[in-house]
Amino acid sequence: MSIATPAYRLSLGPLQFHWPKQAMLDFYREVESTPVDIVYLGETVCSKRREFGYSDWMNVGERLLDNGKEVVLSTLALVEARSEMGTIKRLCDNGLFMIEANDMSAVRMLDGETAFVGGATLNIQNQNSLKILVDHGLKRWVAPHEMPASVMTAVAAKSPDEIECEVFGWGRMPMAYSARCYTTRALDIPKDRCKNCCIQYEDGLLLSTREDEEFLVINGIQTMSAKTTCLAREFQYGEHGADILRINPQATGTSSIIELLDQLRNESANAATITDEMAKFAPGGLCNGYWYGAPGMTYRDEVLNQ
């Protein structure tokens, strides 16, 4: 009897937070035995975070590759210095793993000769921009987090059949990047003497409104949603047209989230049950509003086919 191939693959996005080296080693060792298909590695937020160097990322990548995972190296989303360009160049020249380009500098360095993933921060919003990047070697694109399913589906439908579409389906959403470090600002520390203070916050620093509503998470130069995106129901019941569902790492429960979504795609559990279990790992609550063209902080638990 043949085993049905799941309708989509699962990916684990690059770590957004600053963790100690041993915590990162332990985390990726645990990931080796999960059913995730694709793992993105690399620092995408701040080049001052150096718990892992190039050789560390390569070593972890090779272990994951040996355990049957597709490995992709991710680049910085905001490039501010010439030294950072050198780091991106080294990643692009690694010779083993595909690159997720999160800035156009990486696209230029790949020079149309190497296939790459277009990260969400490339901000691909329509078929024209997608085509330009396909002509430069794009193999897969990650839809912007705020893109409604109706737009994503329309863009994906007009792309070549071999071009994959990846959707952010679990985790706190990266919302914006700035040259200013919000963590040092909150702690009243000069940015150039930060001493990597963000390592104190394994899931970022929660920011609430004056009405005590959890609003954003501060993560160095990045701001994220306080609520957790969850598209479990949408991927079981909706007509999404995406090839890959991305999970963002978090300090607690990442392996459990992977296992739950694997059950969902293999139809061994229903979406309502899976969503209830996943909600236990979302301290700020769930959201999926952007998927429906609604305010991103909202959550709709009745799936509407797009």
Structure confidence at residue 6 (pLDDT): 76
Q: Please provide the distance, in angstroms rounded to a whole number, between the alpha carbons at the two ends of the chain.
A: 34
Q: For residues 270 and 141, what is the distance between their CA atoms, to the nearest angstrom?
A: 28
- Domains in the chain (CATH in brackets) are 9-171+228-276 (3.20.20.70)
Residues in the chain: 306
pLDDT at 238: 61
CA distance 109 to 123: 18
Q: What is the pLDDT, as a whole number, of residue 1?
A: 37
The per-residue pLDDT for 4 is: 54
Tokens of 125: 């919003």
**Regions of the chain with pLDDT less than 70:** 1-5, 238-239, 303-306
